[in-house]
Amino acid sequence: MTGSPPGAAGLRQRFLAGLPFPADPFQMEAMDALDRGHSVLVSAPTGSGKTLVAAYGVARAVAGGGKAFYTTPLKALSNQKFAELSAEHGAARVGLLTGDTAIRPEAPIVVMTTEVLRNMLLAGSDLLAGLRAVVLDEVHYLQDPYRGAVWEEVLVLSPPEVAFICLSATVANAHELGQWLRSVRGPTELVVERRRPVVLRHHLAVHHRGSGETELLPLLVDGRAGGEVLRLDQTAQRLGRTRTSHHWRHRPRLPFRGPRRTELVEVLDDQDLLPAIVFIFSRAACDEAVRQCLRDGVRLTDHRQRVAIRQVAEAHVATLADDDLEVLGFAEWLEGLEAGVAAHHAGLVPAYREAVEACFAAGLLQVVFATETLSLGINMPARSVAIERFDKFGGAGRAKLTSGEYAQLTGRAGRRGLDDVGHAVVLWTPDVTAAEVARVAVAPPPDLRSAFRPTYNLAVNLVRRFDRPTATQVLQRSFAQWQARQGHEGDLVQLLDRRLAVLGDLRYVRDWRLTPAGSRLARVYHEADLLVAEAVASGVLDGAEPSVLAGVLSSLVFERRRARKAVGTPHRKPKKLADRLGEKRRADLDGRLADLAALADRLRALEEDHLVPRTRQPEPGLSGAVTAWARGAPFGVALEVAARDVGEVAPGDFVRTVKQLVDLVGQVAVVAPDPATAAAAAAAVDLLRRDVVAAGTLPSNTHHPPPPDGPGDGLGGPPDGPGDGLGGRPDGSGDGPSATAGGGPS
């Protein structure tokens, strides 16, 4: 996007005149950069109004007769942005492309997941014609290793005439990122804003045993831990000295403790600090918090609000059958909503989550107990944000929140135009001192580190698109290699060569050319891309009926959640349950799963020989439930089969896993060389996408996308088309950083 479109001055005036409040200086600075025809990187706190710059960039591109793509890393964010832009520009001018959805892909404004754009570049899609501006929202999103680097690939491979509007939370190395952007995109201006539009006050919540009162103490005084909270530390340290004694049972009890959930809600209500989001790093605890509030008689709504809440809730579940609503505990869920409290996490089905978001945005809900997925871009600002614990479980055990995580969570506090001050409340716990909390609250933001690593799909697409020297140059232009040069770390080209060695042994690549198997792999977008391609090539799926094919492939999507107790062994423990499988079909499923596991073992051994990170093993735990679902079993029965085979699976996890599976099965329908297997996969898509899986997130005028080779779906174009791209996996995710049933924070 070079220069200014006709009438640019008038466009800017009209855009600013339509705002509910004057634009901030950093927003005006970024708009100036766009008017000069430059790309821009905006690094600013969560909730500061970065998306205003994106909105101007979109309006500017369209006014000049071009197209604008608005990308986000998560499907939930894309759905929300689609609704916002449709309201602003009119539904006919805005499209949506995600892993399993295509709405008006030819529109001048298209919202999509970042992966979809990467795949369009890969396929040389006709939809790229006329593209003038791309928004990369949440550039700092790196929490999923298979999505965290897609924005790099898009920036490296997009046509030079495209201007980028990159939006990032505050990061310490914004200047380094800006330098890299200039190296790959040309003139790029860096705009850094560290000030929040709404002042944030930090508190420590503590309950005094003697008085029975809950108090919000100032966490910070003049940028340091306040005297009152430091005295809590001193008291806890003094009375805790006997903890090492053999007589620990007789140590003095502290005169204070962390507030219970109901006590927290009451003090926030008393001090006029609602609405609030309370972050609890456990789905089960979020649900239990709502039940606690109901048991303790918390009621935060009046009659008018309750009527409005019921209308919103019923509208969101209108397409769900009564039996499904009973399985989903609709009555209890609605009771919490009408009391003004709700849970929000990835274990809920989309219709429930979206109803909570709609009610909260309308000012009808007063308290939402949420996992950290809510902090990732969903537009739900509150007057206050509370954090129940200052540590959470990660891959290496429990760890304290980082400054970046704290800023992300508390970024929801303070509603511009409604609140003069936002409030961040941390509940006291004996595990973390107030001084530690204060240090994190004022610590500088973290560096943005690249998560980009070569994948098998990337490797074959580099071979397909470029000669070896050019492929090397492409890798060397990545932010990962830029940072590796700065720190003298490992070379991405060496990592690529190791992947190519595996592919050479398996005959996907020969003398820098793709074999037919390599051409198929180039169109498989999944974290287990090579294992998917091996399953297709080896005949593991051939001759399978659609439901069994879906069950087998579910083992490449499903992951067991931590702390979910498995019940029995999948398919082995008999139980009277109308799972619609039958002995013959179950035996067929088990045999194919065993064959797939053997394929995975051989692949992992080869990867170990070549020092390549090993592909994860298939997880068959949900295969019986998925097969039952594809054979028409009710939602409740599918969940019962899952509980029998693998342990309790949350409804939202099952729905999200099946949606991801729909995407993967759809890819198999395109790449399978056996026509019968391709037909079975295509049939499985329709069997899987029904009832509760199809409900929510999609407006009534949605149509499902054609296969990736078809016209107009944003993923099309022949494999040897004119576009260039890097491989990866397409979107098909839910709302969490790891959108599998078992991965990532919940």
Tens digits of residue pLDDT in 143-162: 555 666 788 889 988 999 99
Q: How far apart are CA 33 and CA 11, in angstroms?
A: 15
Using the 8-state DSSP alphabet, how is residue 332 labeled?
H
Contact call for residues 177 and 171 (beta carbons, < 8 A): yes
Asked whether residue 504 carries a pLDDT value surpassing 90, the answer given is yes
Note the pLDDT tens digit of each residue in 641-659. Answer: 999 999 999 999 999 999 9
Helical pair 50-63 and 25-35, crossing angle rounded to 10 deg:
30
Say whether 221 sits in a helix, a strand or coil.
strand
Q: Please tell me the least confidently modeled range out of 64-78, 526-540, 600-614.
A: 64-78
Asked whether residue 733 carries a pLDDT value surpassing 70, the answer given is no
Angle (nearest 5°) at CA 380 between 376 and 386: 80
Which range of 97-111, 139-153, 232-246, 524-538 scores highest in mean pLDDT? It is 524-538
Greater model confidence, 522 or 392: 522
Q: Exposure string (b/e) for 485-499, b if CB count within 10 Å is 16 or more?
A: eeeeeeebeebbebb
The model's confidence at residue 363, banded by pLDDT at 50, 70 and 90, is: very high
Asked whether residue 7 carries a pLDDT value surpassing 90, the answer given is no
- Give percent above pLDDT 70 in the chain: 85
The pLDDT, as a whole number, for residue 548 is 98
Mean pLDDT of 20-29: 92
Asked whether residue 311 carries a pLDDT value surpassing 50, the answer given is yes
Q: Where are the beta strands (DSSP E) in 131-258?
A: 131-136, 163-168, 188-192, 199-208, 214-218, 220-221, 224-225, 256-257
Note the pLDDT tens digit of each residue in 418-451. Answer: 899 999 999 999 889 999 999 999 998 888 888 8
Q: Exposure string (b/e) for 383-409, b if CB count within 10 Å is 16 or more?
A: bbbbbbbbebeeeeeeeebebbbbbbb
Q: Please tell me the least confidently modeled range out of 101-105, 314-318, 357-361, 617-621.
A: 101-105
Greater model confidence, 505 or 465: 505
Greater model confidence, 572 or 207: 207
Q: H or E stretch including 421?
A: strand 421-427
The pLDDT, as a whole number, for residue 244 is 44
Q: Following DSSP, what letter does each residue of 226-260 receive, concatenated?
A: -HHHHHHHHHHHHHGGGGGSTTGGGSPPPSEEPPP
Note the pLDDT tens digit of each residue in 255-295. Answer: 999 999 999 999 999 999 999 999 998 899 999 999 999 99
Mean pLDDT of 576-599: 91
The model's confidence at residue 394, banded by pLDDT at 50, 70 and 90, is: low
Asked whether residue 238 carries a pLDDT value surpassing 80, the answer given is yes
Q: Please choose, from the candidates 137, 130, 145, the residue with its C-alpha nearest in 3D space to the C-alpha of residue 111.
A: 137
Greater model confidence, 381 or 714: 381
The pLDDT, as a whole number, for residue 216 is 96
Asked whether residue 141 carries a pLDDT value surpassing 70, the answer given is no
Contact call for residues 514 and 463 (beta carbons, < 8 A): yes
Greater model confidence, 195 or 205: 205
The pLDDT, as a whole number, for residue 342 is 97
Say whether 98 sits in a helix, a strand or coil.
strand
- Give percent above pLDDT 90 in the chain: 63
Mean pLDDT of 94-121: 89
Query: 50: which 2 tokens?
Result: 């970065």
Mean pLDDT of 508-526: 94
The pLDDT, as a whole number, for residue 730 is 34
The pLDDT, as a whole number, for residue 740 is 24
Asked whether residue 339 carries a pLDDT value surpassing 90, the answer given is yes
Note the pLDDT tens digit of each residue in 657-711. Answer: 999 999 999 999 999 999 999 999 999 999 999 999 988 654 433 333 333 333 2
Question: Which amino acid appears at position 301 of this protein?
Answer: T
Query: 160: which 2 tokens?
Result: 């030079």
The pLDDT, as a whole number, for residue 110 is 97
The pLDDT, as a whole number, for residue 143 is 54
Q: How far apart are CA 572 and CA 574, in angstroms?
A: 6
Asked whether residue 337 carries a pLDDT value surpassing 90, the answer given is yes
What stretches of 539-581 show up as alpha helix (H) in DSSP? 546-554
Note the pLDDT tens digit of each residue in 602-643. Answer: 999 999 999 999 999 999 999 999 999 999 999 999 999 999
Q: What is the pTM of this model?
A: 0.85
For the beta carbon of residue 370, count every other beta carbon within 10 angstroms: 28
Rg of the chain on CA atoms, in Å: 26
* Cβ-proximal residues to 318 (8 Å cutoff; 6+ apart), any chain: none
